[in-house]
Structure 1
Amino acid sequence: MAELSAYDLISAEQAIGLVGRDGILFLDASWTYPGGPQPRTDRVIPGSIPFNIDAIADSTSSLPHTLPSPADFEQMVGALGISNSTGLIVYDRMGVFTAPRVWWMFKIMGHDNIAVLNGGMPAWLAAGGESAETLSRPVAPARFKALFNADMLASFEQVRQAVDAQDHRILDARSPQRFAGNGAEPRPGMAAGHIPGASNLFFQTLMDEQGLMDISRIPESLRTEAAEPVITTCGSGVTACILTLALHLNGVQARVYDGSWSQWGSQDGLPVETGAGTSL
């Protein structure tokens, strides 16, 4: 078994060196929304299979791509041929956008043997990695057993309590315009603004010119010695996972508010703040 838990974030050169290694599976997690980052290439890693965050989700939830129950997750990923011994390298074709969401999904289910391909498919191509036109079909089904880690998730009730108690650092990964309430929300019927007391840490500030994740750009005040527990949020729980991964790499463990603004901004009677507020 190839052990990837020591990586969490893996370079294209390191990942290319693992091609063909027994027990390694590449997952293409590419996903976007109207107005969101678009794929920078149509090419994919040979042998990789699709991981659809809209399909591997709680089908009973009205919110987008909500984390499924551990039992449902076991069945869904087992059907993809993923077992507890499978080493996973997850990437997307935007650079670093949806892959951290899939990393978080597996980590919260107790699967540490997973790494995000830093820079995604564009970095893979730049490093000379081979490519294909189409994704592969899932391999034979496998058995996956989840070990759920509740400490990586913030529920709606926990976020409400954190807002009232003002005892958590809430980081919002959306753009400054959306955070301030000046930008249109991509989903209809959503309030404009942010969760009271939240700080804005726009996920794109963690990228360099090539779209690679630069974890050194995490503000010093949030590294290792975080004075308060951290909750990350965004529009629908995707880019919040970019912040969570970056914080994790800096020794800070954060909870993801899975419902994020799709839940908070659609509820009547909840407090909403507007304006630039605190930006990091």
Structure 2
Amino acid sequence: MEHEDPLVTAEWLKENITAPDVRVVDATWFPPFLNMEKTGRQAWSEGHIPGSVYFDIDAIKAGGTDLPHMLPDPVMFSSRVRKLGIGDGNRIIVYDQFKFFASARVWWMLRVMGQKDVKVLDGGLQAWIDAGGELEDLPPVPVERHFTARVRSDLVKDANQVLAASEAGSHTIIDSRSPERFSGDAPEPREGLPSGHIPGSICQPSGELRTPDDRLKSADELRTLFADPMAPTISTCGSGVSAAVTALALARLGNWDVAVYDGSWTEWASDSSRPIAKGAA
């Protein structure tokens, strides 16, 4: 639950995967600017943890916006996850095959929608393989299950709320992008989008939260990266994915109330009326 570690080990999953209330979710997603040869769904279809369903953040998203994978409304979200066999009373374990970017994002989405018993598989699919876990390539046949959405609006922020927090200094605003994009010295991967950062924010790249084998760093290691882990915090990034990795890391340190700026830099920088700071934090 939410006072425990937000991650589980592959060894734990091996021991508990056959429990009737455990649901395993593959959230593999590759940033489009990497031009990967396959999609997350294709990676899942080629080999996944037995029984795992595929959660596509580019499909389970809000409509009516050109911003990528924005959080959908609770009715749409509930409808989609029910069809995946995810519902009330489940213990949900989310993993992915690419540095747990999107598994952290799906962990956050489920928590926004009121799910408390959801965790991330530390090290993702590779950790499962390293632990001797088997793979399958057959899609499961999920049984639809009722999902009750109880939205936690405190875990998601919009542009106006972030602007207010920036001006008032009421929250620590952590930017998960690279230092070069944060400072404005490197271009954004999205054409036409200026680089820089939200005034008053600090840069803590999400990549620095991982070990070389793509596990989340220990609590002791993470504490050295955050000046005040328990401060009211808003996490942001390029499009709201790696920002969730920061929220996951702070949850490991006991701060379960970190909000994610869903539109993140893609939304912020697309409006020329919003202030953009340059230079190092």
TM-score normalised by length of structure 2: 0.90
Does 1:182 pair with 2:197?
Answer: no
The C-alpha deviation readout for 1:119-166, integer Å capped at 9, x for no partner, is 0001111111111235x2451222111001111111211101112212
| 2:250 aligned partner, one-letter code | L
C-alpha displacement at 1:239, in angstroms?
A: 0.5
Does 1:223 pair with 2:243?
Answer: no
Does 1:256 pair with 2:260?
Answer: yes
| 1:217 aligned partner, one-letter code | L
Show structure 1 runs of 5+ residues with no match: none
State the secondary structure of the residue aligned to 1:195. Answer: coil
Which segment is superposed worse, 35-44 or 124-133? 35-44
> What aligned pairs does 1:29-68 form with structure 2 within 5 A after superposition?
29-36=27-34, 43-68=47-72
| 2:222 aligned partner, one-letter code | R
Instruction: Say if 2:100 and 2:123, in contact at 8 Å, map to a contact too.
Output: yes
State the secondary structure of the residue aligned to 2:16. Answer: coil
| 1:232 aligned partner, one-letter code | S
State the secondary structure of the residue aligned to 1:89. Answer: strand
Q: For residues 85 and 233 of structure 1, what CA distance do their matches in structure 2 show?
A: 31
Q: Relative to 1, partners in 2 of residues 1:27 and 1:5: Cα closer, same or farther, differing over 3 Å?
A: farther
C-alpha displacement at 1:254, in angstroms?
A: 1.1
Which residue pairs with 1:93 in the alignment? 97
Q: For residues 4 and 199 of structure 1, what CA distance do their matches in structure 2 show?
A: 26
Instruction: Say if 1:79 and 1:138, in contact at 8 Å, map to a contact too.
Output: no
Which segment is superposed worse, 162-171 or 102-111? 162-171
| 1:246 aligned partner, one-letter code | A
Q: For residues 166 and 256 of structure 1, what CA distance do their matches in structure 2 show?
A: 16
C-alpha displacement at 1:25, in angstroms?
A: 1.3
Q: Relative to 1, partners in 2 of residues 1:56 and 1:138: Cα closer, same or farther, differing over 3 Å?
A: farther
Q: For residues 4 and 223 of structure 1, what CA distance do their matches in structure 2 show?
A: 16
| 1:221 aligned partner, one-letter code | A
Instruction: Say if 2:26 and 2:96, in contact at 8 Å, map to a contact too.
Output: yes
Task: Name which of 12, 19, 31 aligns with 1:21.
Answer: 19
| 2:22 aligned partner, one-letter code | I
| 2:208 aligned partner, one-letter code | T
Show structure 2 runs of 5+ residues with no match: none
Task: Name which of 102, 109, 115 aligns with 2:106.
Answer: 102
Does 1:120 pair with 2:124?
Answer: yes
C-alpha displacement at 1:116, in angstroms?
A: 0.2
The C-alpha deviation readout for 1:12-41, integer Å capped at 9, x for no partner, is 111111121112111100001234597899
Which segment is superposed worse, 23-32 or 185-194? 185-194
Does 1:150 pair with 2:157?
Answer: no
C-alpha displacement at 1:70, in angstroms?
A: 1.2
Q: Relative to 1, partners in 2 of residues 1:144 and 1:188: Cα closer, same or farther, differing over 3 Å?
A: same
State the secondary structure of the residue aligned to 2:28. Answer: coil
State the secondary structure of the residue aligned to 2:32. Answer: coil
Count of equivalent residues: 271
The C-alpha deviation readout for 1:221-280, integer Å capped at 9, x for no partner, is 2233x3xx2110000100000000111121222111001001001112211111222xxx
Q: Relative to 1, partners in 2 of residues 1:5 and 1:113: Cα closer, same or farther, differing over 3 Å?
A: farther
Q: Relative to 1, partners in 2 of residues 1:4 and 1:17: Cα closer, same or farther, differing over 3 Å?
A: farther
